[in-house]
Structure 1
């Protein structure tokens, strides 16, 4: 059962007590991701994530890392399209140190000009790393084109130009605008007493000053595209995307989870069984859903030899058409419900995954479903809702395609 508390400065705290464990995962979530950035500062959310580890008024970069590392704990962060999260995982007896370190990072960052210039080079190397991964590159190019002209299409890391242009002034402006308590959530999962934890957090974060903020996200228009990019790789990487549903459509979201699992989200899925197991055309093929506020997409990814590309593409299109025409069988629906429930319950054994789930839900939708609610929503998905969702999504008239590999620029499928 989740408990919540809002501090006077607007900071929301949500926690789940699990007394039989010996660890705690705690995350500070900020409602600021690449989706809300202006193009000229593309990547600034991710840049700030890096900078908060570069030192505070009280700690050096090394001290931030070593204080947690020396306790056998973990400290890390990530930036997504819609939010940024800084988190620790520690033994319950060490959580006070984790709260102190995270609060210091959030409330007392240095943003030193020299450190900004040094970290710029690190992030540029990170960008090159992803560009060297053909699967990541295919997805990034695809997203950039299906959401062209919208923040959702911009690379989370930014571009070479934007990374060189971002300066201390812009970082401080963005940080001051969005890194405020009433635009943030602290999520905790593990062995603790909620009331005691609230007092610990209030002690460290009460001076965090709240102010008015209005984070607006627009419905991103999905645009058809066909993109190719030559890259000297042994395999061709194919990324495809269908327009899906927004995360707010709760009933349909759980229906899509079932549909995606049957279509390409597991090793027993139609795509995997048909294209890998029966036809032996690929090693890797899968589908996954990316659902955002006001919009979403269903992605299909595969890697194969150049000579197999056309066959793989055509088979994927056949599967899209087949599921639109014939939907799912009752057997597939019932078996997948059990699969999803089992996977969800197994995931609850990790305090990190629990913290991630409740933190993101509270930050972006202002509410969290408990375990029984989620299991009930999975069980309640009916055949009619599944048909409605399939009709909405599995439409090749709304399709984005990106191909990355050797000598692919002249390909037409």
Structure 2
């Protein structure tokens, strides 16, 4: 990326919490924590100190289908960044005393998520959508599931999760391609593939159901999910645009109808969440408890309204917003490195932004109608409502309004 004085390096494994069974729920996230407790010849403190001493920072993230380790550094920091990340994913210490302490830390993280309404309501909806499956379990796991880990078991899990066949190394910014190739050969070229072969991934099934939970809060929190398509489906960009028209901004249908016209909610938006083989169309809203049921009915009505073709001006605005978000995201070095790694893991190559924009432009009103028909044909929804008891009527109100 010409003109940048910094570099972003990502080492991304194409496995995450979705690879776990119920007994190992949360192990991938716990492992991500543990590798920072010491790796290679460096202690936990040295790992961060050597990166920060060169003006950089180091981080990691665990998702359902990917685990990512990232270094941001000044130009010239690629050598050190590669060496440190290689140690993290290949040579973590996994000390027993550190593991017992980190179980407590993750337990606090689990408790914190349960105390945060805008975290908990999404977790409730996700559990309802994919009940009994890895996608339906929290990435953090449970205190019970992480308590069973040992250094030996976590080491075997690391070999399976971060084996060389699952890894992509990606860099963006002030990076020279030849230098990157040399460093990856140096740091990852002798990686051993001694982990268990990945088990075949069962296809995701959208189950659906209601998860109302009464809690003493000032406001009700609603998450409404419907089954949609995955990231590799030809209708992927139709899904993105469907969410944009519904609730992608202040000019969207949900914002205008629920907030501007009726004053039912301060915050409301629609979004799509996609995995390799499945996805959801979602609506999130926060409102007064007494308005929750009516807000759910309004959301159902706007979703059903997508069965009629949208106007060209409205669709054009949604396309411009989607392309703007995609191109703006690419202007950050770390975002570009992460995006490229994700594309290689999914498709085997990076995608040309111009071709992606052309796919967005190719979506027509009839595509959105067809996708809406497909989504509603399942007659299933996952509805989570969190807040005062009066708000819990929103869950049945949404399903009755949408499906009769």
Band the TM-score falls in, shorter-chain normalisation: over 0.9
Which residue number corresponds to residue 14 of structure 1? none
SS at match of 2:128: helix
Report the alpha carbon displacement of residue 215 of structure 1 after superposing the two structures with TM.
Answer: 4.9
Which residue number corresponds to residue 392 of structure 1? 374
Report the alpha carbon displacement of residue 384 of structure 1 after superposing the two structures with TM.
Answer: 2.8
SS at match of 1:172: helix
Q: Is the 8 A contact 1:229 1:408 kept in 2?
A: no
Cα distance in structure 1, aligned partners of 2:197 and 2:355: 31
Q: Which residue, out of 280, 294, 297, partners 2:263?
A: 280
SS at match of 1:298: strand
Q: Is the 8 A contact 1:19 1:192 kept in 2?
A: no
Q: Is the 8 A contact 2:258 2:298 kept in 1?
A: yes
Which residue number corresponds to residue 225 of structure 2? 241
SS at match of 2:279: strand
Alignment of 1:208 with 2:191, yes or no, is yes
Alignment of 1:231 with 2:218, yes or no, is no
CA deviations 1:179-205 (Å, max 9, x no partner) are 211111111111222122100121111
Cα distance in structure 2, aligned partners of 1:57 and 1:95: 18
Q: Which residue, out of 150, 162, 185, partners 2:145?
A: 162
CA deviations 1:6-26 (Å, max 9, x no partner) are xxxxxxxxxxxx232111111
In structure 1, the gaps of 5 or more residues are: 1-17
Which residue number corresponds to residue 346 of structure 1? 328
Which residue number corresponds to residue 402 of structure 2? none
Cα distance in structure 2, aligned partners of 1:70 and 1:56: 18
Q: Which residue, out of 89, 106, 116, partners 1:133?
A: 116
Q: Is the 8 A contact 2:385 2:392 kept in 1?
A: no
SS at match of 1:157: coil
Cα distance in structure 2, aligned partners of 1:379 and 1:274: 26
Q: Which residue, out of 17, 21, 24, partners 1:41?
A: 24
Cα distance in structure 2, aligned partners of 1:397 and 1:180: 40
Cα distance in structure 2, aligned partners of 1:213 and 1:178: 10
Alignment of 1:21 with 2:4, yes or no, is yes
Which residue number corresponds to residue 221 of structure 1? 205
Q: TM-score, normalized by length of structure 1?
A: 0.91
After TM superposition, which residue ranges in structure 1, 4 or more long, deviate above 6 angstroms? none
SS at match of 1:234: coil
Which residue number corresponds to residue 69 of structure 2? 86
- The 1:203/1:410 distance shift into structure 2, 3 A limit, reads closer
Cα distance in structure 1, aligned partners of 2:201 and 2:252: 34
Report the alpha carbon displacement of residue 394 of structure 1 after superposing the two structures with TM.
Answer: 4.1
Report the alpha carbon displacement of residue 294 of structure 1 after superposing the two structures with TM.
Answer: 1.5
Report the alpha carbon displacement of residue 210 of structure 1 after superposing the two structures with TM.
Answer: 2.7
Which residue number corresponds to residue 400 of structure 2? none
SS at match of 2:38: coil
CA deviations 1:288-307 (Å, max 9, x no partner) are 11111211111111111111
SS at match of 1:93: coil
Alignment of 1:64 with 2:37, yes or no, is no
Report the alpha carbon displacement of residue 408 of structure 1 after superposing the two structures with TM.
Answer: 5.4
Q: Is the 8 A contact 1:27 1:85 kept in 2?
A: yes
Root-mean-square deviation (CA), in Å? 1.7
- The 1:134/1:63 distance shift into structure 2, 3 A limit, reads same
Cα distance in structure 1, aligned partners of 2:363 and 2:77: 42
Which residue number corresponds to residue 274 of structure 2? 291
Alignment of 1:355 with 2:337, yes or no, is yes
SS at match of 2:306: helix
The residue correspondences of 1:302-313 to structure 2 (distance < 5 A) are 302-313=285-296
Report the alpha carbon displacement of residue 232 of structure 1 after superposing the two structures with TM.
Answer: 1.8
SS at match of 2:82: helix
Report the alpha carbon displacement of residue 409 of structure 1 after superposing the two structures with TM.
Answer: 8.6
CA deviations 1:228-282 (Å, max 9, x no partner) are 1122211111111000001111x31111111111101222211111111221111
In structure 2, the gaps of 5 or more residues are: 398-404
Q: TM-score, normalized by length of structure 2?
A: 0.93
